[in-house]
C-alpha cells in the first residue's frame, strides 16, 4: 500500500524558500508566497472539511501566479485539478465541467460572466479567486501520492474530448524524467508562453520549473514581439514551445532591421536550451532557427496520456527530423498491426510504459481498457527506429488533427458543422501547412440554394468551438469521396483542398 505523505512538489518548494518562483502580470512571487497563497486557497476550499477526497475542482484564471496557486491549493486540499481553457466558448466549458463531474467552479473575475452562468445552469457552487482568502489557520490533509491529481481533456478518435486522469505519482514521474534529461536546476529561468490547460505548458514548463526551484516568467498570451523583447531583456536560460511559435518568431526576426536582427540573435546566446514539441518540427524551421540564433532546437515527443516519452539529447548530436530516444524511466517500443514488436527499420505504432503513463480516462473504463495492451499504452502515432533513433512518421487516424500544437478531433468538428442550417453534409481533414503544421479544412455539401463563406462559417463556428478548431479552409463540393463501405476517404479528400478553396 502506498504511504501517505506530503506532495513532493510542495515539500521541495519549502526548501526553495525566498527564491523567486513566478513572474507574471500580477507581480513577482517567491516560493514562500506560493506556498502561503496555495495553503490559504486549500483551507478555503476545505471550508472545515478534512479532505476534498478527489472532488473535481474546475478552474479558469489568466495565465500567471493565480493559476499556480490555485492548482497547488486544489492539490493540497486533496482535490483533483481540472484546468479549463481561456478560449473555449460556453458550450465547451459546460461540457468539460459536467463531464468531469466537478463539485465546484472557481474563476478569476475576468471569466466570471461566462462561468457563473454555467455553474448556475449545472447547480454548482461558484467561487471567485479573490474570495479564496480564509485565515491560514488549520491543517491540511496528507496526500497519498497514488491519488488522482489532475484531469486534462484531450480529443480522441471518438468524438467528444476525454478526461485524462494523472495521479501525483504520474506527474512526479513526468517531471523527474525531464528534470534529469534536460538538466534543470534552480539557476534556470524559463519564459512561459503556452496555454495552461495542456501538458506542455503545465508539466514541461511550469511544474518542471517549480520542481527545480527555478524562475518561471509567464506571459498572459503568446505574442512574438513581446517574446523577443523578453529574450533581449531577461537572463533567460530555457525556452520551450510548439513549432508554430518558432515559425512566428522567425517571421518577426525576418521583418527586423539588420541591427534588430543582430540584437535578437545575440539575445539567444545566453540560453542553455531551446525545446520544441507537441507537433513535428519541420527541418527547415530547425535550420532557420539555428542560422538566426546558433541553437539547434531539441525536439522531443510526448502526449497528454504519457507526458514526454522520447527526446533528443541535451548533450550530443540532435538528428534533424527525429525525436531521439526514450527518456529516463520511460519504456518505448514499436508494434505492428497485430501488436507484435517490430525491429529497427520497420515502422510501427508507438507504445509506452512506465510510471509517467496516466491512470485512466475519466469515467471511461472501456476506452481505458482499449488503449492498453499488456500494460503498454498505444499512442496511435507511427514511428520508425533508424540508427537507434526514433523518427515520427505520422498518425494511424486521419481524424486527429494537430494545429499550432493543439490536438483536435475531425469528428467533433463535423458534428458541430452538421448543425449549421446551410450545411447538408461535411467532412473535416487536416491540411498540411508550413505555419500551423496542419490547418483545419472542411469540405461542405450545402443545402440547395444556400451559400456560405469562410468568414460566415468562422463567425458561427467560434460561438460553438474553441477558435483553433474552427476551419480556416473550406471547399464546397457536390459529393464526398467514399470507399465501397460508404466511409469518407479522407486521404483523397485532402487533395480537394489543393485545387479549390474559399
Ligand atoms: C488557427 N487559428 C489558431 C489556430 N489555428 N489560433 C490559435 N491556435 C491555433 N492552433 C486562428 C485563430 O482562430 C485566429 O483566427 C488566428 O488563427 C489566430 O492567429 P494568431 O493570433 O496568430 O494565433 P495565436 O493566438 O498567436 O496562437 C498561436 C499559438 C497557439 C501557436 C500561440 O496556437 C498556441 O498556444 N499553441 C500551443 C498549443 C499547445 O500548448 N499544445 C500542447 C498540447 S500538449 P481569427 O479569425 O480569430 O484571427 C501536447 C503533448 C506534447 O501536444 O507533446 O506537448
Ligand atoms: P496531445 O494529445 O495534445 O497531448 O498531443 C499529443 C500528440 O502530439 C502526439 O500523439 C503526437 O501526434 C503529437 N506530437 C507530439 N510531439 C511530437 C513531435 N515531436 N513530432 C510529431 N508529433 C508530435
Percent of the chain with pLDDT over 70: 98
Residue range 90-94: mean pLDDT, rounded? 96
**Ligand 2 pocket by Cβ (under 6 Å):** 154, 199, 277-280, 299, 301-304, 323, 379, 381, 392, 395, 402, 407
CA of 222 to the centre of ligand 1 (A): 9
Residue range 287-309: mean pLDDT, rounded? 98
**Per-residue pLDDT for 136 more than 80?**
no
CA of 246 to the centre of ligand 1 (A): 12
Residue range 291-313: mean pLDDT, rounded? 98
Q: Cβ of 200: how many Cβ atoms within 10 Å?
A: 22
199 in ligand 1 pocket by Cβ < 6 Å? Answer: yes
pLDDT band at 137 (very low <50, low <70, confident <90, very high): confident
CA of 40 to the centre of ligand 2 (A): 36
Nearest CA residue ID for atom 11, ligand 1: 468
Q: Point out the ligand 2 atom lying closest to the alpha carbon of residue 305.
A: 4
For residue 53, the model assigns a pLDDT of 98
For residue 249, the model assigns a pLDDT of 98
For residue 5, the model assigns a pLDDT of 55
Ligand whose nearest atom lies closest to the CA of 201: 1
* Residue from 101, 23, 92, 104 nearest 59 by CA: 104
Residue that has been written with the C-alpha cell 493543439 in this structure: 406
Residue range 255-273: mean pLDDT, rounded? 98
CA of 430 to the centre of ligand 2 (A): 14
Nearest CA residue ID for atom 8, ligand 1: 468
Ligand whose nearest atom lies closest to the CA of 297: 2
Average pLDDT, the chain: 96
* Residue from 162, 140, 167 nearest 152 by CA: 162
Whether the CB-CB separation of 177 and 199 falls below 8 Å is answered with no
pLDDT band at 500 (very low <50, low <70, confident <90, very high): low
Ligand whose nearest atom lies closest to the CA of 352: 2
Indicate the range of 93-107, 136-150, 233-247, 452-466 predicted with least confidence.
136-150
For residue 481, the model assigns a pLDDT of 96
Whether the CB-CB separation of 328 and 307 falls below 8 Å is answered with no
Give tens-digit pLDDT for 218-232: 999 999 999 999 999
Concatenate the DSSP letters of all residues of 474-498 into one string: EEE-S---B-TTS-B-HHHHHHHHH
CA of 394 to the centre of ligand 2 (A): 9
Instruction: Measure the CA angle with vertex 448, ends 444 and 453; round to 5°.
Output: 45
Answer yes or no: pTM beyond 0.75: yes
For residue 401, the model assigns a pLDDT of 96
Domains detected in the chain:
8-143 (3.40.50.980), 400-499 (3.30.300.30)
Give tens-digit pLDDT for 240-253: 999 999 999 999 99
pLDDT band at 1 (very low <50, low <70, confident <90, very high): very low
For residue 502, the model assigns a pLDDT of 46
222 in ligand 1 pocket by Cβ < 6 Å? Answer: yes
Concatenate the DSSP letters of all residues of 421-459 into one string: TTEEEEEEEEEEETTTEEEEEEEEEEPTT----HHHHHH
Q: What cell does 360 get?
A: 485512466
Whether the CB-CB separation of 203 and 190 falls below 8 Å is answered with no
Residue range 458-469: mean pLDDT, rounded? 96
In angstroms, the CA 153 to CA 483 distance is 32
Cross-strand partners of 152: 164
473 in ligand 1 pocket by Cβ < 6 Å? Answer: no
Ligand whose nearest atom lies closest to the CA of 395: 2
Which DSSP helix (H) or strand (E) runs through 501?
none
pLDDT band at 3 (very low <50, low <70, confident <90, very high): very low
Q: Which residues, in sequence order, are CB contacts of 317 under 8 Å at separation 6+?
A: none
pLDDT band at 160 (very low <50, low <70, confident <90, very high): confident
Q: How far is CA 38 from the centre of its chain?
A: 23
Amino acid at each position: 500500500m502506498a504511504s501517505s505523505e506530503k506532495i513532493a512538489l510542495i515539500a521541495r518548494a519549502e526548501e526553495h524558500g525566498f527564491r523567486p518562483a513566478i513572474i507574471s502580470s500580477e507581480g513577482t512571487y517567491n516560493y514562500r508566497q506560493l506556498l502561503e497563497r496555495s495553503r490559504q486557497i486549500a483551507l478555503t476550499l476545505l471550508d472545515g472539511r478534512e479532505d476534498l477526497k478527489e472532488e473535481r475542482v474546475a478552474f479558469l484564471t489568466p495565465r500567471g501566479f493565480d493559476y499556480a496557486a490555485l492548482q497547488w491549493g486544489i492539490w493540497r486540499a486533496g482535490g483533483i485539478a481540472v484546468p479549463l481553457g481561456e478560449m473555449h466558448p460556453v458550450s465547451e466549458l459546460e461540457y468539460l465541467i459536467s463531464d468531469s463531474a466537478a463539485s465546484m467552479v472557481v474563476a478569476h473575475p475576468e471569466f466570471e460572466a461566462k462561468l457563473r452562468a454555467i455553474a448556475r445552469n449545472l447547480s454548482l457552487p461558484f467561487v471567485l479567486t479573490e474570495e479564496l482568502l480564509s485565515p491560514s489557520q488549520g491543517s491540511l490533509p496528507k496526500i497519498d501520492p497514488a491519488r488522482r491529481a489532475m484531469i486534462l481533456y484531450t480529443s480522441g478518435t471518438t468524438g467528444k474530448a476525454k478526461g485524462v486522469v494523472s495521479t501525483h505519482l504520474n506527474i512526479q514521474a513526468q517531471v523527474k524524467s525531464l528534470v534529469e534529461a534536460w538538466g534543470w536546476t534552480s539557476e534556470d529561468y524559463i519564459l512561459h508562453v503556452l496555454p495552461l490547460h495542456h501538458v506542455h505548458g503545465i508539466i514541461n514548463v511550469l511544474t518542471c520549473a517549480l520542481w527545480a526551484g527555478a524562475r518561471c516568467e509567464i506571459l498572459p498570451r503568446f505574442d512574438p514581439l513581446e517574446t523577443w523583447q523578453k529574450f533581449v531583456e531577461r537572463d533567460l536560460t530555457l525556452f520551450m514551445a510548439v513549432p508554430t511559435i518558432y515559425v512566428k518568431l522567425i517571421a518577426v526576426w525576418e521583418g527586423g532591421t539588420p541591427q534588430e536582427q543582430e540584437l535578437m540573435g545575440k539575445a539567444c546566446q545566453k540560453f542553455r536550451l531551446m525545446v520544441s514539441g507537441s507537433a513535428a518540427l519541420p527541418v527547415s524551421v530547425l535550420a532557420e532557427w539555428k542560422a538566426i540564433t546558433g541553437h539547434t532546437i531539441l525536439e522531443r515527443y510526448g502526449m497528454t496520456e504519457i507526458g514526454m516519452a522520447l527526446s533528443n539529447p541535451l548533450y550530443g548530436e540532435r538528428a534533424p527530423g527525429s525525436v531521439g530516444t526514450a527518456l529516463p524511466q520511460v519504456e518505448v517500443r514499436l508494434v505492428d498491426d497485430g501488436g507484435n514488436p517490430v525491429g529497427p527499420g520497420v515502422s510501427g505504432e508507438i507504445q509506452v510504459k512506465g510510471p509517467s503513463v496516466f491512470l485512466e480516462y475519466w469515467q471511461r473504463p472501456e476506452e481505458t481498457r482499449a488503449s492498453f495492451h499488456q500494460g503498454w499504452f498505444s499512442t496511435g502515432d507511427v514511428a520508425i527506429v533508424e540508427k537507434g533513433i526514433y523518427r515520427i512518421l505520422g498518425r494511424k487516424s486521419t481524424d486527429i488533427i494537430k494545429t499550432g500544437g493543439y490536438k483536435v478531433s475531425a469528428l467533433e468538428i463535423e458534428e458541430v458543422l452538421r448543425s449549421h442550417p446551410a450545411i447538408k453534409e461535411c467532412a473535416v481533414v487536416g491540411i498540411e501547412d508550413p505555419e500551423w503544421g496542419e490547418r483545419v479544412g472542411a469540405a461542405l455539401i450545402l443545402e440547395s440554394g444556400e451559400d456560405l463563406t469562410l468568414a460566415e462559417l468562422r463567425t458561427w463556428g467560434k460561438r460553438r468551438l474553441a477558435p483553433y478548431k474552427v476551419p480556416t479552409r473550406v471547399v464546397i463540393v457536390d459529393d464526398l469521396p467514399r470507399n465501397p463501405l460508404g466511409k469518407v476517404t479522407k486521404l483523397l479528400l485532402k487533395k480537394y483542398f489543393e485545387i479549390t478553396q474559399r
